[in-house]
Amino acid sequence: MKRQRGNVAVEAALGLPVLILMVLAWLEFCVLTYAMAATDHALATAVNAAKRQGSLSATVVADYEYALLQALRENGIQWWMSSEELGAVRAEVVYFRDLSALAQCSQGGGELQSCALASSSGLNAAVAVYQVDYRYQPMFNVYLPELRVHREVVAVQEYQRCKFKYWDGCDG
């Protein structure tokens, strides 16, 4: 039987790059999952803070988009995004008079902003859809394209609960 030399070197040369790529792909998936979970948590906390900005007696509508972006930055979205990525985060708030208007606009599956029942002003609008868009650029995998991440949270504006009777605790 003839001794074979170089088997380990050939197997390592062929197998090690594949193993490294698999580990980097797994690490990329973990970072992406964590980034999306952190964004979801920051968005939920930001919406919770932003929806309390207005008041029934106010004639000027609060700037909910600015409040949403500020709350997102305060809730930890900036530590895993670079400054240029953070500048590319787009937040938008679309308002509806009631839940039935939101349901009608959601049936088609298109953009909520293009619906006739949607409004860009929060005045006398009980329901708000908070939307956040950003792009995720993979860190390790140069073969994956950048991903567009879109998140939405539907919320009843706090100061509108009694006016539109979305809560049983209103005595007035």
Rg (CA), the chain: 24
- Whether residue 55 has pLDDT greater than 60: no
pTM of the predicted model over 0.75: no
Residue 169 falls inside a structural domain = no
- Whether residue 45 has pLDDT greater than 70: yes
Structural domains of the chain, count: 1
- Helix, strand, coil content of the chain in percent (nearest 5): 45, 15, 40
Domain that holds residue 56: 7-160
Residue 143 falls inside a structural domain = yes
Average pLDDT of the chain, as a whole number: 76
Residue 51 falls inside a structural domain = yes
Q: How many angstroms separate the Cα of 4 from the Cα of each of 9, 22, 51, 87?
A: 11, 29, 72, 59
Q: pLDDT tens across 95-150, in order?
A: 888 888 888 888 877 788 778 888 877 777 788 888 888 888 787 767 778 888 88
